[in-house]
Amino acid sequence: MVELIACVGVYQTTTDEAVRWSELAGAMVQRLGPEGHVLEAKRLGHTGIVRQIRGEFAAARELHERALALLDRPERPDPQALIGTLSNLGNTLTELGLHAEAEATHRRAVALAEEFFGPDHPQAAMLTGNLAAALTDTGRDEEGAELHARALAIKERALGPDHLSVAASLRHIARIRLRQGALGEAQAILRRALAIRERTLGPTHPELADLLHDLGEVARRERRFAAAQALFRRALAIAEPRGDGHPQVLPLLLGLGRTALDAGDPMAAREPLRRALAAEPRDHAPARPEVAARLRLTLAEALWPEPPARAEARALATEARALLGPSDGFAPCAASSTPGSRDMFYEQAGAGAEPLNAPSRASRALSQHVRVGLSRDGGSRAARSGRVVSDASAHSHQPA
C-alpha cells in the first residue's frame, strides 16, 4: 500500500489519487502500533513527496518532519529511511527559502550516508548532489559545482560513464555553466547527458524533455532561434501527453514563447504563452512564483506592440510584480532583437524589468526519481527539472 502511494503519486503524478491511497495506508498502518513506525514513516515520506510535486511545501515539511521524528531515534530503526527523509526535508526547506536549515539538513544526510554506505558509494554521491543543489540555490555556484564534480567522479567509478545517474550529475553541472554564461561548455555537457539517456531509455522517454529544454535555452541565448524552437518542440512532443499542467510542460511553452519574442515575432510568442497561462491551477497559488511571474512578463511583452492589448499587458505586469514581491531584484532583459521596444515596454507598462536570475524550476519538484530508491539523480522511473526523493528504502527526491 505504501509503495502504491509512490507509484501513483510520485511516478505518475496522479497526486489526488496518491493522497487517497495515503489515507487508506495510514489507517492500515495504525493497526500495527509501534511495530508500524517505519512503515508510517515511509507513508509520510511518500505523501510529503506528493505534496512537494503539488507545490505544497509547508505541508510537505510537516510530513517529512513527522517521518523524521519516527526514524531519528537512538536505535535507528532504518538508517536508509532516515537518510532519505533528511534529504527530502532539506529539499523542502530549500523550496521554502529556509536555506541555512536546508544546508544543515543536507550536510547531516551526507554525513550519515558516508557513514552507512561509505564515502565512495553512489548513494552518498546522490546525496552530495542534493547538497550541491542547495548551495547553488543560494548563488554558491562554484561550491556547488565542486560537489557535483565530486559526485560525478564517484558515480563514474562505481556505475560506469554511461549510467543514468551520471547523466543527472552532468545536467546539474551544465545548468551551473549555463547560468554563468559558459554556453559552449554547457552545451557539450548537456549533449553527453542526452546521449546517455537516449541510449538507455530511447528517443522519446520523458526524462529527455528536461535536457532538451536546457539545450533549447543554450540555442536561444546563442540566438540560434530555429534550433531552439526545434529543441523545445521535440521536448514538448515528449512531455505534453501528460497534460499542459505537468511541471515539465510550462518551461517548454515559456521557452517557445521567449524564443519567438527574441526572434522579433511577438505574434508567434502569444499562443504558447497563453497556453501556459491557461494551464496554471486556479484553486491555489502557483507553486513556483518566479516562473509564473516570468510567464506573465513575457506574455505582457508579447502583447505590448498591439495598442489595444496594452491594458492586458499592464495587468499581467502588475500580477508579475505581486508574485515576486518587493524584495526581488530586477534587471534588464538579455538577448532581445528589439531592445528599444523591450525597454519601452518595461518603462511604460510599469514592469520595472524582467526578474534577474529567476530560474525555471517548474519541473524541479518532479524531475527525476530513481530508486535507491527515488533520486533527485534521475533514472528510468523518473516522473523535473528534481532533487533526490527519499522514502524509507532511501528514496530521495532530486531536482534534475
Residues 174-211 pLDDT 10s = 999 999 999 999 999 999 999 999 999 999 999 999 99
User: Do 221 and 335 form a contact (C-beta atoms < 8 A)?
Assistant: yes
Average pLDDT over residues 97-110: 96
What pLDDT does 350 receive?
A: 54
CA of 186: how far to CAs of 104, 176, 182, 221, in Å? 29, 8, 6, 12
Average pLDDT over residues 80-107: 94
Comparison of pLDDT for 346 and 138, the residue scoring more = 138
Comparison of pLDDT for 376 and 380, the residue scoring more = 376
321-376 confidence digits (pLDDT tens): 988 865 444 433 333 444 445 555 555 555 554 433 333 332 333 232 222 233 34
195 phi/psi in degrees, rounded to 5? -60, -40
Confidence band (pLDDT; 50, 70, 90) for 39?
confident
Q: Torsion angle of alpha carbons 334, 337, 340, 344, nearest 10°? A: -70
What pLDDT does 36 receive?
A: 66
Burial class (CB in 10 A: 0-12, 13-18, 19+), 217: buried
Which CATH number applies to 2-248+363-398? 1.25.40.10
Q: In percent, how much of the chain has pLDDT > 90?
A: 58
Average pLDDT over residues 24-33: 64
Average pLDDT over residues 217-246: 95
- End-to-end CA distance of the chain: give it in Å, rounded: 28
Comparison of pLDDT for 375 and 244, the residue scoring more = 244
Confidence band (pLDDT; 50, 70, 90) for 46?
confident
pTM: 0.78
Separation of alpha carbons 395 and 375, rounded Å: 6
Average pLDDT over residues 57-80: 90
Confidence band (pLDDT; 50, 70, 90) for 1?
low
